[in-house]
């Protein structure tokens, strides 16, 4: 009987890739960490670089995750809105359109709203909930369409629009930068339903105008201003989409998969790909998350799953604040948490550690640079590189690959791949399935 194949623990440190920074003596946060445990796993594996999409393209977390999980984002990406909705437990009905939303601070002048802070000073979750409630009460209906804002963590929210004859093929009104005006929502040039897209734009634009008026006089914002805090006085919208059935991860790669994450988007992605999403106490999706708890939960899950995706957001949160020291400290805690993973782990599993994109602290936003990848396992051809970092990875055995190459590489490292050209199943598969059909020899 052939060996069943190894399990895989894939750790995605959000926004891991970085550049050297002066406050870390010219090192990247990853380079500055002692790597007691990462070094141990490096010895049992190889490193390389991943371009999540392709060189020079800065992905969002959602597009890069899909690419790393082996989905073709040019054909299969439904927009970020539906992932955010799924992660927040919102069931989108057919025809409903979901946007990712941010409460933001704008300055009103000359009939424009200039963005001062895209996150309204990282307004707390409770304040977001109160503002969303006011908007749902006062701006919940535009024409014959219903607008409902669901508050999420901190400044984040999900906007769900229900109406008829609408198309989601419209632009963001979020300019994605401060000092820029809040944008008019416009139909995409390539929209297949121009009329529906035009209709949605008119609704979204009048909703936003109304929201800005209501938020300007909201008690919550008056209180924030009194306390010297930035008001949440506009709603930035981006990446609209409609629910679309995605091929389950298990059907695509043959792994029974589970997800350990704190951030709602990541749980949403996992849920839409049919992974089991496990709640771990202390998993916050922030730098203060219980990393050890998440690692322990992941190890436990490998008892009855053969693929665990562990997501850690702290690296990206620090990066967006330009906090290289904080990012290094988070990575040090991550390395410490790998004390939980004994060396015997690799006898039946593969450990992979990477990021979903680079978020250099010096830029405080996503960049198109590649991210380092470490794969350790008994079937991995190891290399001579000693440490795991953006620079050392250039000399590793894995070389430079694209996001879509990761899953085939992990499948191979787990010894589960089907040799190209052989065909044991009617459906073309990348993996050896559990349910091969034996020839019935009769009684
Ligand atoms: Zn990310
Ligand atoms: Zn980010």
Q: What is the CATH number of the domain that holds 389?
A: 3.40.720.10
SS3 assignment, position 36: helix
Give me ligand 2 centre to Cα 359, in Å: 7
Same domain, 253 and 121: no
Ligand nearest the Cα of residue 357 is: 1
What's the pLDDT score for residue 3?
Answer: 54
Give alpha helix (H) positions in 70-193: 73-76, 80-87, 125-139
Using 50, 70 and 90 to split pLDDT, how confident is the model at 343?
confident
Q: What is the pLDDT of residues 372-430, one digit of tens each?
A: 999 999 999 999 999 999 999 999 999 999 999 999 999 999 999 988 888 888 888 98
Give me ligand 1 centre to Cα 356, in Å: 5
Give me ligand 1 centre to Cα 357, in Å: 6
Q: What is the pTM of this model?
A: 0.90
What's the pLDDT score for residue 1?
Answer: 39
Using 50, 70 and 90 to split pLDDT, how confident is the model at 90?
very high
Q: Give the Cα separation of 164 and 341 in Å (integer).
A: 52
What integer best gives the mean pLDDT of the chain?
95
Least Cα distance to 92 among 278, 260, 274, 272 occurs for: 272
Across 341-364, average pLDDT: 96
Give alpha helix (H) positions in 237-392: 249-253, 264-272, 291-301, 314-320, 324-337, 345-348
What's the pLDDT score for residue 399?
Answer: 98
In a domain, 429, yes or no: no
Report the share of the chain in percent with pLDDT over 70. 99
What's the pLDDT score for residue 432?
Answer: 83
Domain count, the chain: 2
Same domain, 157 and 221: yes
Across 305-321, average pLDDT: 97
What's the pLDDT score for residue 436?
Answer: 87
Same domain, 72 and 173: no
Q: What is the pLDDT of residues 107-119, one digit of tens each?
A: 999 999 999 999 9
Is 316's pLDDT higher than 60? Answer: yes
Same domain, 153 and 291: no
In a domain, 440, yes or no: no
In a domain, 322, yes or no: yes
Across 50-54, average pLDDT: 98
Using 50, 70 and 90 to split pLDDT, how confident is the model at 434?
confident
Give me ligand 2 centre to Cα 435, in Å: 40
What's the pLDDT score for residue 245?
Answer: 87
Using 50, 70 and 90 to split pLDDT, how confident is the model at 320?
very high
Same domain, 216 and 280: no
Segments forming the whole domain that contains residue 231: 92-242
In a domain, 355, yes or no: yes
In a domain, 426, yes or no: no
In a domain, 303, yes or no: yes
Query: Which structure tokens are listed for 279?
Result: 């709640």
Ligand nearest the Cα of residue 64 is: 1
Across 144-156, average pLDDT: 95
Q: Give the Cα separation of 405 and 362 in Å (integer).
A: 29
Same domain, 236 and 119: yes
Q: What is the pLDDT of residues 231-274, one digit of tens each?
A: 999 999 999 999 888 999 999 999 999 999 999 999 999 999 99
Give me ligand 1 centre to Cα 309, in Å: 14
Is 349's pLDDT higher than 90? Answer: yes
Ligand nearest the Cα of residue 365 is: 2
What's the pLDDT score for residue 186?
Answer: 98
Same domain, 24 and 62: yes
Strand partners, 349: 7
């Amino acid at each position: 009987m052939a060996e069943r194949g190894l399990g895989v623990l894939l750790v995605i440190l959000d926004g891991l890739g970085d550049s050297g920074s002066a406050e870390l003596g010219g090192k990247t946060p990853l380079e500055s960490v002692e790597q007691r445990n990462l070094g141990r796993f490096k010895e049992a594996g190889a490193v390389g670089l991943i371009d999540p999409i392709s060189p020079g393209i800065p992905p969002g977390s959602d597009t890069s995750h899909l690419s790393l999980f082996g989905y073709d984002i040019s054909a299969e990406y439904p927009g970020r809105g539906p992932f955010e909705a799924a992660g927040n437990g919102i069931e989108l009905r057919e025809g409903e359109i979901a946007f990712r939303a941010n409460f933001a601070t704008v300055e009103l002048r000359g009939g424009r709203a200039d963005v001062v802070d895209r996150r309204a000073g990282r307004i707390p979750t409770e304040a977001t909930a109160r503002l969303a409630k006011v908007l749902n009460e006062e701006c919940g209906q535009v024409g014959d369409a219903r607008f409902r804002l669901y508050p999420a963590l901190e400044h984040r929210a999900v906007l769900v629009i229900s109406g008829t004859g609408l198309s989601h093929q419209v632009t963001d009104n979020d300019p994605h930068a401060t000092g820029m005006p809040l944008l008019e929502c416009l139909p995409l040039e390539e929209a297949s339903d121009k009329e529906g897209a035009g209709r949605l734009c008119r609704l979204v634009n009048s909703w936003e105008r109304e929201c800005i008026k209501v938020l300007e006089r909201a008690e919550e914002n008056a209180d924030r201003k009194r306390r010297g805090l930035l008001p949440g006085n506009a709603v930035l919208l981006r990446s609209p989409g409609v629910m679309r059935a995605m091929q389950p991860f298990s059907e695509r790669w043959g792994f029974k998969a589970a997800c350990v994450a704190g951030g709602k988007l990541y749980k949403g992605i996992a849920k839409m790909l049919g992974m089991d999403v496990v709640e771990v106490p202390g998993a916050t999706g922030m730098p203060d998350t219980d990393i050890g708890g998440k690692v322990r939960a992941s190890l436990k899950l490998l008892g009855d799953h053969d693929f665990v995706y562990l997501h850690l957001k702290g690296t990206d949160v620090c990066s967006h604040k330009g906090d290289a020291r904080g990012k290094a400290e988070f990575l040090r805690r991550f390395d410490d948490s790998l004390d939980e993973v004994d060396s015997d782990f690799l006898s039946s599993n593969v450990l992979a550690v990477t990021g979903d994109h680079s978020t250099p602290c010096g830029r405080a936003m996503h960049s198109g640079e590649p991210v380092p990848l470490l794969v350790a396992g008994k079937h991995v051809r190891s290399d001579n590189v000693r440490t795991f970092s953006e620079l050392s990875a250039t000399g590793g055995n894995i070389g430079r690959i694209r996001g879509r190459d990761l899953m085939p590489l992990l499948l191979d490292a787990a010894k589960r791949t089907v040799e190209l050209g052989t065909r044991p199943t009617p459906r073309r598969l990348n993996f050896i399935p559990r349910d091969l059909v034996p020839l019935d020899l009769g009684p």
